[in-house]
Amino acid sequence: MQTVVVGTSGTTAEDVIAVAREGARIELSAEAVAALAAARGIVDALAAKPEPVYGVSTGFGALASRHISPELRAQLQRNIVRSHAAGMGPRVEREVVRALMFLRLKTVASGYTGVRPEVAQTMVDVLNAGITPVVHEYGSLGCSGDLAPLSHCALTLMGEGDAEGPDGQVRPAGELLAEHGIMPVELREKEGLALLNGTDGMLGMLVMALADLQRLYTTADITAALSLEALLGTDKVLAPELHAIRPHPGQGVSAANMSAVLKDSGLTGHFQEEEAPRVQDAYSVRCAPQVAGAGRDTLAHARLVADRELASAVDNPIVLPDGRVESNGNFHGAPVAYVLDFLAIVAADLGSIAERRTDRLLDKNRSHGLPPFLADDAGVDSGLMIAQYTQAALVSEMKRLAVPASADSIPSSAMQEDHVSMGWSAARKLRTTVGNLSRILAVELYAATRAIELRRGLTPAPASQAAIAALRAAGVEGPGPDRFLAPDLEAADAFVRDGKLVAAVEPVTGPLA
């Protein structure tokens, strides 16, 4: 099993995914343990002084003006966790909670939070034991970070609340800790606050969405190429010299991917041989690289933001090496929230253009010789008519989800926290959007492969043949009379979601970007 070592300088997207999705084990580096101890020494020294220090010997948020006496400080730290663990709604997915906890550990290990080494080690032990706190859908405004979700995680460290064990059963957290020999933590000055105050949930969801969308953008280039081929379109619009004169990087990558898939196709270039010759293909076909490419460039910007955030220590107040404990606003989720919203917009547009290509494949007036709805016996059979309805419903939802969450702000904490990012909400809707995009591309793949097979007498590109063969081997049937369609579409979605389409064509095309 892979082991991820957490140091003081942040982490990587690959490590987040390894922990969240693959169950990688975690270790604290010696450097991190030393940094934790040094920062804790500063906090302990400040806690012993009579002067109030925010987060160490005061209340929080709008209650920061109260100086807390030493005998009440442990109770204060417990109380902030208990009171902030106020989430409601459905449970958040296990991979999201693991990413959330791991990223909070990343900041704690930086040595800027003042948390004791034993608290960080307990976080490691809980993750390694496969214990996953129960976190709820609603409760974060994205400022001061993901407070409620992180509080539910901190509650588990205290041995309180509910958590899911490695067997998938939800039980009292205290029981699960005891079974794995993990002692609940007794929080001291600043520690409760340090466990709650970060952008970790929205960042974890961003990192995973970027990985999923990278695969789906490559998939979309393949399905667009298959649709172009099925529509007897021209691949001349993919020539690299055309894309070089509008040098958006993503556009050139998408065009190159499509060209690689279409190499040696016997279906392309017939657009001027029909009874009604076409001068140009429709926008949804001809402009596929421009739309997908702009999305790819947005992914690149979002990845830059994520990498910066992965290298950050996000807490308030921050313990500086020179002994200062300073309040700051680094917990504000705006940088992450914006790119989460950007990604929802470009994913919705990618889904929209894929749906338009599918509709064109099914319309006998625009499909250039294909049967209506790709049906076996049109009229007796409905073919893929309702598959496109499902695709359209998914696109419609994606358009609604593309409305930016980060454009909203609801003041909280008696107007102390009077501008919030709503980044958690942006991340949650992006997860839905990513799932919808996979389904939309699966429907396009299903329609385009069937259409290619109906072009009897013409030989598809070798990469297309490989894609069709792999899809059929995965249990997705080809042309024929109407049948129960939902299982085929679900299998096609799994084929797309698991990266099997990309894996099927790359032995022919070489690596696709």
* Paired tokens of 136: 């709820």
**Nearest-CA neighbor of 107 among 4, 3, 9?**
9
Contacts of 420 (CB under 8 A, 6+ apart): 141, 142, 143, 332, 333, 409, 410, 411, 412
Residue 374: predicted pLDDT: 98
Pair type for strands 3-6 and 25-28 = parallel
On the CB side of 512, how many CA atoms lie within 13 Å of its CA? 30
**Nearest-CA neighbor of 475 among 461, 464, 489?**
489
Is-cis flag, bond preceding 144, omega within 30?
yes
Q: Which residues are catalytic?
A: 54
Greatest alpha-carbon pair distance for the chain in Å reads 91
CA distance 247 to 244: 5
Secondary structure E strands in 293-392: 318-319, 325-326
> Is the CB of residue 235 less than 8 Å from the CB of residue 495?
no
- Written as one string, the DSSP assignment of 417-480 is B-----HHHHHHHHHHHHHHHHHHHHHHHHHHHHHHHHSTTSPPPHHHHHHHHHHHHTT---S-
Residue 271: predicted pLDDT: 66
**Nearest-CA neighbor of 251 among 187, 184, 296?**
296
CA distance 306 to 311: 9
**Nearest-CA neighbor of 204 among 91, 60, 97?**
97
> Is the CB of residue 26 less than 8 Å from the CB of residue 4?
yes
The secondary element (H helix, E strand) that includes residue 46 is helix 30-47
* Paired tokens of 281: 């293909």
On the CB side of 453, how many CA atoms lie within 13 Å of its CA? 20
| CB atoms inside a 10 Å sphere around CB 7 | 17
Contacts of 479 (CB under 8 A, 6+ apart): 374, 376, 450, 453, 454
Pair type for strands 318-319 and 88-91 = unpaired
Q: What is the pTM of this model?
A: 0.96
* Paired tokens of 69: 């006496």
On the CB side of 459, how many CA atoms lie within 13 Å of its CA? 5
Rg (CA), the chain: 27
Residue 239: predicted pLDDT: 97
Q: What is the DSSP letter of 236?
A: G
Taking the chain (513 residues) in consecutive chunks of 10 residues, what is each chunk's mean pLDDT? 95 98 98 97 90 80 79 90 97 98 98 97 98 97 92 98 98 98 96 93 98 98 98 96 98 98 94 71 97 98 98 93 91 96 98 98 96 98 98 98 96 88 97 98 98 96 98 97 98 98 98 98
CA distance 134 to 149: 9
The secondary element (H helix, E strand) that includes residue 170 is strand 170-172
> Is the CB of residue 59 less than 8 Å from the CB of residue 88?
no
The secondary element (H helix, E strand) that includes residue 387 is helix 385-401
- Written as one string, the DSSP assignment of 19-33 is HHHH--EEEE-HHHH
Residue 385: predicted pLDDT: 98
Write the burial class of residue 437 (CB in 10 Å: 0-12 exposed, 13-18 middle, 19+ buried).
buried
Residue 1: predicted pLDDT: 81
> Residue length, the chain?
513
Residue 51: predicted pLDDT: 84
Residue 117: predicted pLDDT: 98
